[in-house]
Structure 1
């Protein structure tokens, strides 16, 4: 009944923990989905803003192109006016008033006037260029461009595109640069790149790892699969393509439920491990207290019984009877010694485990039902192992008694001791009723027993003695209901030095 209540409590605890974890994951998943939708909306707005601003850039470029053409025409007219004046014949009936007024009204076209390579004057030249070196450089540039008119007596007039034309060109360049740097590449948390018209070369990239940039083709192909590329037709650059990945926030939100599940799982595992450790510690304290109290309670009557044996010997009781009585009292003293050692670090002594197992099993065979057929197989050579005789005999006794109980006093019990790979292997097999898988999982738990009056301490103490005190392992090798059970035990062998 207590076991069923314990199992029911565990089930309710597991159900409650599952409900809490499920509710937490559902709530966080809902929040993550909301944030993901918001982030996707931001990305959509960003891509739409790119298209709208690209259209604005194209419109602005068309407007600036019209203005540039007008300024270029003005510069050409200025040059033509100077040519008309230069080519006019003296005394020719030509009215130069309009032409002169056009030249004098020039406010945007830079003009340099040289006579015999000596600067005579300049018009509309920026202050930054008004040094001899820079003026000579500008003159050479204009001469190479062919925007020069030669007058008589070595007078040369050089003219350039209008300053307004240059300003328009500079503004357009700044606009394109601002468009690329602020709108396209400055995309907050969006990894983005700018590719050429063939989608073969990366021109600029932002927030993309260097390792990904090493394989251009694979990167462009992957980004094109994630989001459709955005086409840009930039002035004087031709077609460009914008490719972008999911934002960093989107990626983090995608893995957020998994990370949260791992964190919750880790916390639950840590909490369960801590709880189990405290529970085992509490159980150990209970078992240790019970064992020591049992040893203390047995000590007094045991001493009295030993004294009574001497009294009986003096009164002439048969020595054979007294000998058997002393053997049983010695056995009781061994049991008391075992209980007193529980909870303390036992002393291990190196000895021949094979010989000890043979002697112990011979003693147990004499005290078991005759219907049980014992078979003990031991190696011929000594098996040197560090063990505590009092505790290890308890292991053998518990395994033997459990096997005899499982066979209900009749059947076969075998023990085989071998040495393999630097460790001792001991198999204890019986032909009893066997165990189900559920029982196999619980057979070593303290308090678990299939007997009506069992305490459930035997095998739990066996495992503790083998694992904690001797550094070995014990487990159910196989068990079939109606066929029998085999326990396998491993102990480390002491090296011979």
Structure 2
């Protein structure tokens, strides 16, 4: 198992572990959030039920209040009738007097048609003889109830003015307080529920709570909110007993909404943090690897340079000693090759200089070198779709290294028998170089991974050749390299894209 495969396997297990941790955390967090959310929903449900019960109580109280009001009206009518009967010839006035006597709560004033106060009852005793006070009381009574006519004699009428009894007034004050308390409980609720209280038209807002005051001044926002609330929860119908129904629209509290989305938001933030951390760590690690790579390349070039100079001197010495020239020529060729390798490592360890060069000349030279270093069972060819020279900015020693690496990998993939073709296409901005072999082919899943450091299919391979190729093309030449096409058992085409 090569280092790249082990690395990928470790990444897979780490990713799987992270996914399991996230799933377990989400599952447990959702359980906790669900419990809290259920409590919140229970509060909202209890609040809604309490509002409905209180609305029923308010309705009952209102009906009771109207009954008391009707009874007071009936009492005063009976009292007026009793006063009428006093002016008539009755055999027994006991019942009439009893009725008049039993009015102990309703303030009444009787005036004649000339506006003179004839009688007052249940008026503050301190002002009972004050005519101006009585006149003001009559005006107050007129604003509450219409007077009752009492015909004493034909053509002679008195007028009975009355107002609500103190008990009824106090009950009315209590009832008004109950209504205000009900509306306040609707708007300012312990469940923190956004609520809108409207009249029967469902348009006019009577009260609202836990809503943005400024936004509630916008009628469009109000109608939109009412529609959304009605979709989420059926409005609570409030019948206060006055013949009209009001409605309470509400939705779940903001806290409940936050709790529902909190786990996803939390893990989203954690995920972004981990992603940024990973990217920063990867960038820092890559920078360190680059420094190590450059340092090793420079050191390799330096270590090769010292014995190489000595070998060149020894070749000159052997030439002076009359050693066979053919042997010296072969030795010089190998030395030249070592010089090329040293130059490549030297340029890898520093920023290479790109010069304009004819790509066909460079390719032909590289392929010619590979022909002399491989079996005659491998057929090489260089094809150009154009007859004119194709100039590209290149670092020739490094680019030759790329072609040699690709050809060696192709020869290994063909087991030493087959054909390798290099086809060049000149486009407007780019030059495409397709290196095609008739080897074993590459699985589609490995198209990207073959360029990763440590990936190899050879038993004793280091997995550095194609990684070095990718580095030279993309980092030093600003181009691209990728697997254009591959078919198992038929061969592979690798494309190099260079800027002109």
What is residue 190 of structure 1 aligned with on the other side? 193
Moved more, 336-345 or 311-320: 311-320
Q: Which residue of 1 aligns with 2:279?
A: 273
**In 2, distance between residues paired with 1:458 and 1:449?**
9
- 2:177 aligns with 174
Aligned with residue 432 of structure 2, among 425, 434, 439: 425
**Structure 2 match to 1:36:** 37
**Matches for 1:219-258 after TM superposition, within 5 Å:** 223-224=229-230, 226-236=232-242, 238-258=244-264
Deviation at 1:110, TM superposition (A): 7.9
Question: What TM-score, normalized to structure 1?
Answer: 0.77
SS in 1 for 2:420: strand
- For residue 143 of structure 1, report the CA deviation from its aligned partner: 7.3
Q: Distance in 2 between matches of 1:75 and 1:383?
A: 118
Which residue of 2 is the match for residue 147 of structure 1?
147
Match of 1:454 in 2: 461
Corresponding residue SS for 2:486: strand
Q: What is the alpha-carbon distance in structure 1 between the residues aligned to residue 15 and residue 100 of structure 2?
A: 101
CA contact (8 A) 1:220 1:243 kept: yes
CA distance in 2, matches of 1:346, 1:308: 31
Return closer, same or farther for 1:320/1:48 CA change in 2, 3 Å cut-off.
same
- After superposition, the Cα gap between the structure-2 partners of 1:100 and 1:59, relative to the gap in structure 1 and judged at 3 Å, is closer
Maintained 8 Å contact 2:481/2:494? yes
* Unpaired stretches in structure 2, ≥5 consecutive residues: 126-131
In the other structure, the counterpart of 2:129 is: none
Give the Å deviation of 1:252: 2.6
* Alignment match, 2:60: 59
Mapped to 1, the partners of 2:177 and 2:497 lie a distance apart of 80
* Residue 298 of structure 1, CA deviation: 0.7
CA RMSD of aligned residues (A): 4.6
Structure 2 distance, partners of 1:142, 1:421, is: 101
Q: 2: CA distance between counterparts of 1:121 and 1:320?
A: 155
Question: 1 CA distance for matches of 2:72 and 2:201?
Answer: 35
Q: 2:413 aligns with which of 401, 406, 410?
A: 406
| Distance in 1, Cα, partners of 2:19 & 2:475 | 34
TM-score, normalised with respect to structure 2: 0.77
Which residue does the alignment assign to 1:341?
Answer: 347
Within 1, Cα distance between the matches of 2:397 and 2:136?
A: 112
Cα distance 1:292–1:101, how it changes in 2: closer, same or farther (>3 A)? same
Superposed, 1:61-76 pairs within 5 Å as 61-73=62-74
Cα distance in 1 between the residues matched to 2:115 and 2:387: 121
Give the Cα separation in 2 of the matches to 1:19 and 1:350. 54
Whole-angstrom distance in 2 between the partners of 1:138 and 1:325: 138
Q: Tell me the CA shift for residue 459 of structure 1.
A: 1.0
1:443 to 446, 450, 454: 450
Give deviations 1:222-242, integer Å, cap 9, x for gaps. 655543443321232522333
- For 1:357 and 1:308, locate their aligned partners in 2 and report how far apart those are by CA, in whole Å: 33
Tell me, what secondary structure is at the counterpart of 2:451?
A: coil
Alpha-carbon distance in 2 for matches of 1:178, 1:352: 93
